């Protein structure tokens, strides 16, 4: 059974870096794409980017180049970093598997989400 | 970037009703659209992908259709556990984009 679990600080100061890790169990992170998606309180979903086990990645340009992702295959984990955060980055952050289903990719497994509040 | 617009944003319905939610893409996304269900305090759950393919384990009362720019999600006979928020998502190009959501509530 595939399971994902986000972890990291729940409070980040403005201008600092938000860092989250997603621990994956039930499947090797090799050979899959892994995404981060966020949801501000009471609002919709925003895709932040993906990382692949080869190290390739793609990010949402709406984040203005502030996002980075990495993988630790030995620990079966991948991570998100979001620099220079503001209150607008307060959200529940989800990690998800971006799986090829047919010819395209969809988010078929999600973590439970981690609320990160940006506040001084 | 592709914009996804859902309608309605809110719908009130009763158990047993048939409900249809619409999603429109700002440009052609072929059939590369998914629908997700999200309940309060939970992560979204994949219901349908490639416009009409039901994810494993999803009840057959859910169905999807459409191609190009116009898509629909239909729930044929609402059950109590179906009251949730539904999101469409395009999988054709980056950045992946979601609709703003349709909240389905009990009348």
Q: pLDDT tens digit string along B83-93? A: 999 999 999 99
Q: Chain B residue closest to A47 (CA)?
A: B96
| pLDDT value for A5 | 98
* Banded model confidence at residue B7, pLDDT cuts 50, 70, 90: very high
* Banded model confidence at residue A17, pLDDT cuts 50, 70, 90: very high
DSSP B11-34: EEE-TT--EEEEEEESS--TT-EE
Contact A106 B34 (CB under 8 A): yes
Paired sense of beta strands B45-49 and B53-54, if any: antiparallel
d(CA B81, CA B84): 8
Distance separating the N- and C-terminal Cα atoms of chain A: 39
| pLDDT value for B37 | 98
Is residue A31 over pLDDT 90?
no
Mean pLDDT of A62-83: 96
| pLDDT value for A102 | 84
d(CA A62, CA B102): 23
Paired sense of beta strands A91-101 and A114-118, if any: antiparallel
Optimal mutation site among A39, A40, A41, A44, interface B, most CBs of chain B within 10 A: A44
Residues 6+ apart with CB under 8 A from A88: A40, A118
Q: Is the C-alpha dihedral spanning A104, A108, A109, A113 positive or negative?
A: positive
* Banded model confidence at residue A53, pLDDT cuts 50, 70, 90: confident
Q: For residue range B65-83, what is the model confidence (pLDDT) as tens digits?
A: 999 999 999 999 999 999 9
* Banded model confidence at residue B100, pLDDT cuts 50, 70, 90: very high
Provide, rounded to the nearest whole percent, the portion of chain B with pLDDT above 90. Answer: 98
| pLDDT value for A103 | 87
**CB of B37 closer than 8 Å to CB of B45:** yes
**CB of B82 closer than 8 Å to CB of B64:** no
Provide, rounded to the nearest whole percent, the portion of chain A with pLDDT above 90. Answer: 93
| pLDDT value for A55 | 83
| pLDDT value for A52 | 94
Paired sense of beta strands B10-13 and B102-106, if any: parallel
Backbone angles phi, psi at A73, to 5 degrees: -65, -30
* Cβ contacts of A61 on chain B, cutoff 8 Å: 95
Residues of B with CB under 8 A from a CB of A: 1, 32, 34, 36, 42-46, 49-50, 53, 55, 87, 89, 91-92, 94-101
| pLDDT value for A57 | 95
Is residue A106 over pLDDT 90?
yes
Q: Chain B residue closest to A39 (CA)?
A: B43
Residue A35 bridge partners (DSSP): A50, A96
Contact A106 B98 (CB under 8 A): no
Optimal mutation site among A1, A36, A45, A67, interface B, most CBs of chain B within 10 A: A45
């Amino acid at each position: 059974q595939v399971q994902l679990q986000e972890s990291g600080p729940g409070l980040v100061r403005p201008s600092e870096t938000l860092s989250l890790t997603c621990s994956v169990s039930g499947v090797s992170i090799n050979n899959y794409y892994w995404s981060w998606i966020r949801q501000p309180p009471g609002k919709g979903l925003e895709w932040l980017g993906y990382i692949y086990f080869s190290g390739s990645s793609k990010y949402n340009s709406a984040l203005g180049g502030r996002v980075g992702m990495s993988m630790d295959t030995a620990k079966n984990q991948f991570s998100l970093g979001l620099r220079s955060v503001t209150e607008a980055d307060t959200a529940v952050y989800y990690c998800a598997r971006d799986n090829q289903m047919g010819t395209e990719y969809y988010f078929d497994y999600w973590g439970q989400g981690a609320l990160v509040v940006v506040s001084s | 970037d592709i914009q996804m617009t859902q309608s309605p944003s809110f719908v009130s319905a009763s158990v047993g009703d048939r409900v249809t939610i619409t999603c429109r893409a700002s440009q052609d996304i072929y059939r590369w659209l998914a629908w997700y269900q999200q309940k309060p305090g939970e992560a979204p759950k994949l219901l349908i992908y490639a416009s009409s393919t039901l994810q494993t384990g999803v009840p057959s009362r859910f169905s999807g259709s459409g191609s190009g720019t116009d898509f629909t999600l239909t729930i044929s006979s609402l059950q109590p556990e179906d009251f949730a928020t539904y999101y469409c998502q395009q999988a054709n190009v980056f950045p992946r984009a979601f609709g703003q959501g349709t909240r389905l509530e009990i009348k």
